[in-house]
Amino acid sequence: MKDNSLKSEIRGRCERLQKWMKETGLDGCLISEACSLRYFTGFSGGEGFALFCGSDSFLITDSRYTTQAGIECPEAEVVLTTPEEPSYVLAGRLCGKYAVHHLGFEDEHMTCRTYSNFIRFMKDAEFVPCSRALMEMRAVKSDGEIELIARAEEIGSMAFSHVMEILRPGMTELAAAAEIEGFMKKCGAEKLSFDTIVGSGFRSALPHGMASEKELQPGDLVVMDFGCVYHGYCSDMTRTAVVGEPSDKQREIYDIVLEAQESAIRMIKPGVCCRDVDGTARTIIEEAGYGEYFGHGLGHSVGLYIHEEPRFSRMDNTILKPGMVVTVEPGIYLPGDGGVRIEDLIVVTEDGCRNLTSADKSFLVIK
């Protein structure tokens, strides 16, 4: 996303936030979570607060970020803290100046200590939880955001092709993870979306098993779940391979998971309920006799943060809209034996969906 386009997007986001504040009766809104800060102000430093009061906005941070904030936050007035005037003192003063009586805040991210400090200096303001509402504003991605997510996912797909060329029996899970991570960094990734998951053999049945010193052995299923951040936006994908020729049972499980995933992807389009997409994949796995071994939701939205809303789960009644970006990641995990998960990143389009993950989904063999 070019600088001018990004600044225009941020301006539009601020206007949307201020319109929402007016409609909900809020005099102000305090932004504290790092991804929200970046979304509504452009500030990537992560440490600070944004305060919206009516049509004015302020970025409250410290002197380490003076130049960075000035460059990245054209729509906000930068206010610097000092040891004598920390963020909550400055925010309290601004709220008093603008007569803020109803203040939105990110209740799902602010610590009790931070909350206590702010309310001490904003005694005239009622704090109104708004984490859910702010997340909903980020649910539909712009074309520019989708472009960045797609590039991050492309880097992940290339990393998978790279690691499959060098995986061998005897290599440790940690070494495999290091190859994936190093390759993504060389391709322009800023950092990882999350700690890389590499689970082999019995450890492949751990849905979030971090890479360990275990060596890849003949007969092992190998689950690799990884992602990177590109210009602030995350990617996420999972592939499962096997060391040596797969057994009939391993091939059966892989085929079931792949059928469940592809059936769910074919369902994705505007107007479809998230719960129903989850149900499509879950029914296939249940009817194959493995329902009890698929315990997590089918997927989650991805953006500036790796887990956003909405989600493909039995509990989410959100209706899909163009611009939403959601993972589809069914799995079967047999304790003590092994597991299979296949995950793609899907963007909802005007008339269907587009798969952003180009990595090979066939049951690849590590020789």
* 2, pLDDT greater than 70: no
**C-alpha angle 154/2/151, rounded to 5°?**
5
Task: Give the pLDDT of residue 74.
Answer: 81
Q: At what angle do helices 87-97 and 112-120 cross, to 10 degrees?
A: 40
The reported pLDDT for the residue numbered 4 is 67
Which residues have a Cβ under 8 Å from the Cβ of 329 and sit 6 or more positions away? 238, 261, 298, 299, 341, 342, 343, 344
Determine contact, residues 125/28, Cβ cutoff 8 Å: yes
Percent of the chain with pLDDT over 70: 99
At residue 6, the pLDDT reads: 78
- pLDDT, position 85: 94
Mean pLDDT of the chain: 95
CA distance 333 to 47: 39
Query: 301: domain CATH number?
Result: 3.90.230.10
Q: Which one of 137, 157, 176 terminates a domain? A: 137
Model confidence at 59: pLDDT above 90: yes
- Annotate 104-138 with b (16+ C-beta within 10 A) or e (fewer): bbbeeebeeeeeebbbebbeebebbebbebbbeeb
**In whole angstroms, what separates CA 314 from the centre of its chain?**
19
Report the DSSP beta bridge partners of residue 127.
Answer: 103
Number of domains in the chain: 2
Q: Judge if 95 and 183 occupy the same domain.
A: no
Q: Are residues 180 and 66 in the same domain?
A: no
Distance CA 70, CA 43 (A): 9
Residue 153 and residue 39 share a domain: no
Helix (H) or strand (E) holding 105: strand 102-105
Q: What is the pLDDT of residue 54?
A: 84
In the chain, which residue ranges form alpha helices assigned H by DSSP?
3-24, 34-41, 66-72, 87-97, 112-120, 131-137, 143-166, 173-186, 248-267, 274-287
CA angle 286, 314, 109 (to 5 degrees): 135
Q: What is the pLDDT of residues 182-231, one digit of tens each?
A: 999 999 999 999 999 999 999 999 999 999 999 999 999 999 999 999 99
- Whether 261 has a pLDDT exceeding 70, the answer reads yes
Distance CA 265, CA 258 (A): 11
How far, in Å, CA of 232 to CA of 61, rounded? 19
Q: What is the mean pLDDT of the segment spanning 331-357?
A: 97
> Rounded to an integer, what distance in angstroms lies between the CA atom of residue 199 and that of residue 328?
19
Write down which residue in 137, 170, 201 finishes a domain. 137
End-to-end CA distance of the chain: 41
- CA gap 92, 125 in Å, rounded: 9
Q: Is the pLDDT of residue 293 over 80?
A: yes
Average pLDDT for 284-295: 98
Per-residue confidence (pLDDT) for residue 8, from 0 to 100: 85
Residue 355 lies in domain: 143-366
The predicted pLDDT at position 136 comes to: 93
Among candidate residues 100, 121, 137, the one where a domain is terminated? 137
- Give pLDDT tens digits for 4-53: 677 888 889 999 999 999 999 999 999 999 999 999 999 999 899 999 99
Sign for the pseudo-dihedral over CA of 227, 355, 266, 318: positive
One domain for residues 254 and 343: yes
Tokens 């380490």 found at: 64
66-76, pLDDT tens digit by residue?
A: 999 989 998 89
